[in-house]
Structure 1
Amino acid sequence: MNQHMPPEPVPFIDIGAQRRRLGKSIDEAVGRVLAHCQFVNGPEVTALEQALAQFSGARHVVSCASGTDALLMVLMAENVGRGDAVLCPSFTFCATGEAVALTGATPVFVDVDEATFNMDAASLKRGIVTARKLGLKPRAIIPVDLFGQSADHDAIAAVAEAEGLFVLDDAAQGFGASYNGRRLGTFGRATATSFFPAKPLGCYGDGGAIFTDDAALAERLRSIRVHGQGADKYDNVRLGLTGRLDTVQAAVLLEKLKIFDGEIAARNEAAERYSRGLGNVVTVPLLAAGCTSVWAQYTIRLPKGVDRDGFAAALKAKGVPTAIYYPKSMHQQTAYRDFPVAEGGLSASERLSADVISLPMHAYLDAPAQERVIAAVRSAL
């Protein structure tokens, strides 16, 4: 072998390894859909919704076309719109604030806790004050279970209750995690998740779901999912979307859900190996008391003065890919920088955007590959 050949890269997320593990089961599941030809709202969609309800503990599950649609559909079902404010963390993927802005409501960005990356209840309170000062009506809070770890749902629920707001949990990265012994999907008025292929539970395209214990809300969501239809498909009783999950994707997810618990355990083992191997050279992620994570990402913070681009390049040269979630917090992005931010600013979000970097993480990350990652990180520092 040529000694100048770069080493085979460690996969950042290894969908291929999972595909090999599932073997023929997914081919057969998709084959059943190809045989019955019910590509929209086929039997697998209902079966998946029932399986997800059982897994999460939520009474009602409404599958949909993406995690963004999941957020948007709940806001539509609750008639959130012009003049309303919805409180969102700034350090998250843009879909959280995007869904709010699409309704005509105003996202008001609040800060996060630097240790957990999740919504900071003190900044949330300041954000509600800011919204009211601007003449907006605070309606909802969208905490995010970022990188796989549950947000502090008790603290957020207490603020929501005191202020008369509803909570929509954005569990796009956290589905499968728990908070104080309860799985995500059972907090707030509703929970939204994403089945984008890179997510811990991902399909082979776009997909999402909404979890709620509110039967009337679930009924409105099912109407919104199909253009707002009423009892008759050509009598549309509200504005809606084409928000359905394809039957093929439901078939894929049913097979993946069967191995999801085992994969979560494997992700947690990988996270522990990283923490042991890197805890004394970088800031490793912290699990808050009462929280578990599905480790959608394993995100470290570099020591002060380390050049992040140079660090990433050094790892890449050793076949170790990295990613930055998120180089700009939402309030720093072109489309969102004119929306209000909580009084006192969002300094934690800004600091995180400047020094976080994510390492390879998936359920099939074996110890030898991880040792390579750990050695590369240590030598780059």
Structure 2
Amino acid sequence: MKVPMLDLSEQYASLKSEVLEALDSVMSSSQFILGDNVKKLEADIAKYSNVSHGIGCGNGSDAIHIALQAAGIGAGDEVITTPFTFFATGGAIVRAGATPVYADIDPVSFNLDPNEIEKHITDRTKAIIPVHLYGQMADMVRIREIADKHNLIVVEDAAQAIGAKQGDYTVGQLGDAATYSFFPTKNLGAYGDGGMVVTNNDDIAEKSRVIRVHGSKPKYYHSVLGYNSRLDEIQAAVLNVKFPHLDTWSEQRRKHAEFYTSLLNEKVSEHVQTPVIVEGFYHVFHQYTILTERRDELQAYLKENGVATMIYYPLPLHVQPVFESLGYKEGDYPKAEKAANQALSLPMFPELKEEQQQYVVEKIAEFFAK
């Protein structure tokens, strides 16, 4: 059996007629940039996030940068974030002119540990970027309390967590801003790049809209140094077709995660640590990620047997070569480093079949039995 990491073909087949109709409508309108589709998506995603504003942009990486710049983060500032995340988080901080300062993770949720934050706060600290990794929110209640105590901005990197919750709080409600990615592999994915900033802060929203169009307002008059990062109509049209299905897809992911966990705990609990849904949190399982000491050997064995897996992420930010000048070294963040050495993400998408999951777990059990 072949089990892909992600298969978007079945999803497309189920939505094909709607997608093609939406694309034809865009082509016929000849309105390709910041038109009605973008406006509708911005309004719908903002409402879904329980905030006032959505600002579509070119991709999730730009969304973080735009939010930081709009919040006034720049040269000389420090931004505390997790070292266990995709490069875009740290890259956006540096692109904004600030310096990333890392704090270790909670090994249960893989997210930024609130208990680690305050020890890294200095008089130059201006913001915190919690990353809601794999589809589960960081502890935003505690992070918001810390931010308020020290007068810090909070920008939530929610690229993997649209629809996630902590209690009654959605992504974006407790941050000064939150950012989404609509990369094709995301839970709500476009057919190309796309991203969005969502916020309740009118000033951040207005500045984000200006920054995404070269800092221009009115047109051709440039008050700030912005850049070209707009969500285009074609991608927005696709996302408008997909968005009504998001909650159903999230529930399917959660069902698959529950099935994986029951099988893995039954067959290989002594070898594999399964994901934990923190009490009171709603996990949308962008990824289903296990921990195992024999990660690389297991990945190779699964590949030999037709099972695709991914490692998110093999090298934490603090030891990435591009950040060498920051002076971090291996051993500085042991929990993040352990996760980077042991994390393995298994196939996960709404249309995943139970027999595919059973095959994946069979092969994992077979590996450890050998």
TM exceeding 0.5? yes
Question: What's the counterpart of residue 320 of structure 1?
Answer: 307
Which of these residues, 271, 285, 290, is aligned with residue 280 of structure 2?
290
Q: Which amino acid aligns with 1:238?
A: V
SS where residue 335 of structure 1 aligns? helix
Question: For residues 340 and 139 of structure 1, do their structure 2 counterparts lie closer, same or farther at Cα, with a shift above 3 Å needed?
Answer: farther
RMSD: 1.4
Q: State the shift of 1:340 in Å.
A: 5.5
CA distance in 1, matches of 2:23, 2:174: 33
1:84 aligns to 2:84 (yes or no)? no
Partner of 1:238: 224
How many angstroms does 1:341 deviate by?
5.6
Q: Corresponding residue for 1:148?
A: 135
Q: Following the alignment from structure 2 to structure 1, what is the Cα–Cα distance between the partners of residues 326 and 103?
A: 11
Give the corresponding residue for 1:254.
Answer: 240
Match of 1:192 among 160, 179, 194: 179
Q: Which moved more, 1:275-284 or 1:105-114?
A: 275-284
Partner of 1:168: helix, strand, or coil? Answer: strand
Q: Which residue of 2 aligns with 1:274?
A: 260
Q: Distance in 2 between matches of 1:340 and 1:180?
A: 38
Task: Report the CA distance shift for 1:340/1:83 in structure 2 as closer, same or farther (over 3 A).
Answer: farther
In 1: Cα distance, 2:291 partner to 2:341 partner = 9
1:12 pairs, out of 1, 5, 17, with 5
User: SS of the counterpart of 1:193?
Assistant: strand
Q: Post-superposition shift, 1:182?
A: 2.2
Q: 1:27 aligns with which of 13, 17, 20?
A: 20
3-state SS, counterpart of residue 78 of structure 2: strand
% identical equivalent positions: 38
Give the secondary structure class of the aligned counterpart of 1:107.
strand
Pairing of 1:1-381 with structure 2 (within 5 A): 7=1, 9-128=2-121, 132=122, 137-230=124-217, 232-279=218-265, 280=269, 281-302=271-292, 304=293, 306=294, 308-339=295-326, 345-381=332-368
2:23 partner letter: V
Q: CA deviation at 1:345?
A: 2.7
What is the deviation of 1:79? 2.2
Shift of 1:275: 0.6
2:281 match: secondary structure: coil
Amino acid at match of 1:354: N
Distance in 1 of aligned mates of 2:170 and 2:240: 18
Distance in 1 of aligned mates of 2:359 and 2:242 = 28
Q: TM-score of the superposition, structure 1-length normalised?
A: 0.93
- SS of the residue corresponding to residue 273 of structure 2 reads coil
- Aligned with 1:336: secondary structure? helix
Quote the offset at 1:339 in angstroms. Answer: 2.1
The one-letter amino acid of 1:60's match is H
Between the aligned partners of 1:63 and 1:168, the Cα distance in structure 2 is 16
Count of residue pairs the alignment pairs up: 363
Aligned position for 1:4:
none
Structure 2 counterpart SS, 1:169? strand
What amino acid is the match of 1:52? I
Does structure 1 conserve the Cα–Cα contact (< 8 Å) formed by 2:37 and 2:233? yes
Structure 1 residue ranges without an equivalent (≥5)? 1-6
